[in-house]
Amino acid sequence: MTLLSSRSFPRHAHDQFGLGVLLDGAQRSWSCVGQVESQPGDAIMVNPGEMHDGMPIGGARAWRMLHLAPELVARELDGADTELVHPSVRDPILAALFVRLFARITQLPADLLAVEEALARTLAHVARNHVTHPRVVPPSGPVAKARQRLDDAPAEATSLQELATLTGLSRFQLVRSFAREVGVTPHAYLIQRRVSRVRQLLAAGATLADAALQAGFADQSHMNRAFVRQFGVTPGRYRAALA
């Protein structure tokens, strides 16, 4: 994905590893290590499920980004349980490797061997310089129950009272605990899961109207607003890019 935008993105997460390079402009973002700033040429990285946002500094910024499936990264790193530790870093070697990888992936017709080689070299560099073995801190029981409910059935309507009853917390306690441990409120998290479902449905060939309905959005315009807010492009443009 290549994007030029002056939009501020709210806190959200992806199901994949994100790896990219800021091409122009500057950005400030919230991450697992606090606020970070990125300048042209900086590599930007994010882990699956990691909450982050993005705000331009002084005008529009442009970046290229690849989202890599966790199982793909695990296979390339011999199944290692790893975590990216630098949301933004000045690493000219990594930036050059990424540019090569991006070019190989977007070149038509694709050269599979060249793509695989570029991917292996890029991830090997990441593993040597920007990865740690995480100390797993599981969410508390109540928050884990609420999150699991939203993960299992994002298209189904719910209420704060339903989630509170499920977890044994008051509504206020649930919102506070969920936001502290996950990084966003239950409602914001639910919208993100629905948007992720839209991406899956569009990739599988669903129409925009069917994707909105199956993901649990009230209508197509509601889906469009949520999708643009999170990804900066409309679902229609995303679907056209897939084609």
pLDDT tens-digit readout, 60-90: 999 999 999 999 888 887 666 778 889 999 9
Q: 149 and 116, same structural domain? A: no
Q: Give CA–CA dist 62/45, Å, rounded.
A: 15
Place of tokens 């409309």: 234
Q: 173 and 110, same structural domain? A: no
Q: 170 and 227, same structural domain? A: yes
Q: Give CA–CA dist 109/120, Å, rounded.
A: 20
Contact 120, 112 (CB under 8 A): no
- What's the CA dihedral at 9, 11, 13, 18 to 10 degrees? 50
Q: What is the pLDDT of residue 80?
A: 64
Count of structural domains within the chain: 2
- What's the CA dihedral at 163, 166, 168, 170 to 10 degrees? 20
Q: What is the pLDDT of residue 138?
A: 64
Q: What is the mean pLDDT of residues 199-214?
A: 94
Place of tokens 């008051």: 170
CATH number at residue 82: 2.60.120.280
pTM above 0.85, yes or no: no
Mean residue pLDDT of the chain comes to 91
Q: What is the mean pLDDT of residues 5-21?
A: 92
pLDDT band at residue 108 using 50, 70 and 90 as cut-offs:
confident
Segment 109-145, tens digit of pLDDT: 889 999 999 999 999 999 889 988 655 566 679 999 9
Q: 151 and 89, same structural domain? A: no
